[in-house]
Amino acid sequence: MPFQPLPDDQPSCTVECPACGHRGLVYEQQLGLLGPCPVCGAARPRYMGSVAPGSGRQVSFGRFRDLLDEPRLLSLIEEALGLCPLDAECFADAQGREVPLEDIHYALQGNAGWQGQVYNLHMNRAR
Ligand SMILES: [Zn+2]
C-alpha cells in the first residue's frame, strides 16, 4: 500500500542512512516503516529526530507504542481494524496471524478519524 499522508500532515522527521549518510525528511507516520535508503539502497534509514512540529495530528510510532497500555487505544484497534490483542504489544487478525505493530500504527495514521482519536489519547496522556 503506497503511503498516503492526510492533507494536514507535514513531513517533520529527519532520517539518516547509516551506510551512506543520506538525510531526508519523512512523515512521522513513516517512522518504523521506512524501506531501504533511496540513495544507496543498502540500509534502513535511521530516525534522527523531529525538526519541525507536526502541523497535523500525527502521532509518531514511539508515542503510539507508549499508549498501548491505554484501554481506549486497544478498543480502537479492535473496532477499527478488527484485530485482537494477544498481549502487551502483540495483535492478531481474524485468522490468528500476528500483525506487526508498525502496520497497526500505519493503518490508524492513514485515516483522519482514527488518527484524531489516537492524537486525543496522546494529548490526554501528555497533560
Ligand atoms: Zn544510503
Q: Express the helix, strand and coil content of the chain in percent, nearest 5 each.
A: 35, 15, 45
Which residues, in sequence order, are CB contacts of 18 under 8 Å at separation 6+? 43, 44, 45, 46
pLDDT score recorded for residue 79: 95
Ligand 1 mean position, distance from CA 52 (Å): 23
Ligand 1 mean position, distance from CA 22 (Å): 5
Q: Which range scores top for mean pLDDT: 7-16, 43-52, 113-122?
A: 113-122
* Per-residue b or e along 60-79, where b marks 16 or more CB atoms closer than 10 Å to that residue's CB: bbebbbebbeeeebbebbee
The set of cell numbers assigned to 88 is: 502487551
The residue among 108, 125, 2, 127 whose CA lies nearest residue 58 is 108
Given a cut of 90, is residue 120 above it in pLDDT? yes
- What percent of the chain lies above the pLDDT cut of 70? 87
Residue 34: C-alpha distances to residues 28, 40, 43, 95, 121 (Å): 11, 14, 10, 27, 25
Ligand 1 mean position, distance from CA 32 (Å): 16
pLDDT score recorded for residue 81: 94
Query: For the ranges 28-32, 72-76, 115-119, which has the lowest average pLDDT?
Result: 28-32
pLDDT in tens, 61-78: 888 889 999 999 999 999
Ligand 1 mean position, distance from CA 44 (Å): 8
- What percent of the chain lies above the pLDDT cut of 90? 26
Question: Residues 89-114: what's their mean pLDDT?
Answer: 87
Given a cut of 60, is residue 51 above it in pLDDT? no
pLDDT score recorded for residue 44: 75
Ligand 1 mean position, distance from CA 36 (Å): 8
Ligand 1 mean position, distance from CA 124 (Å): 38
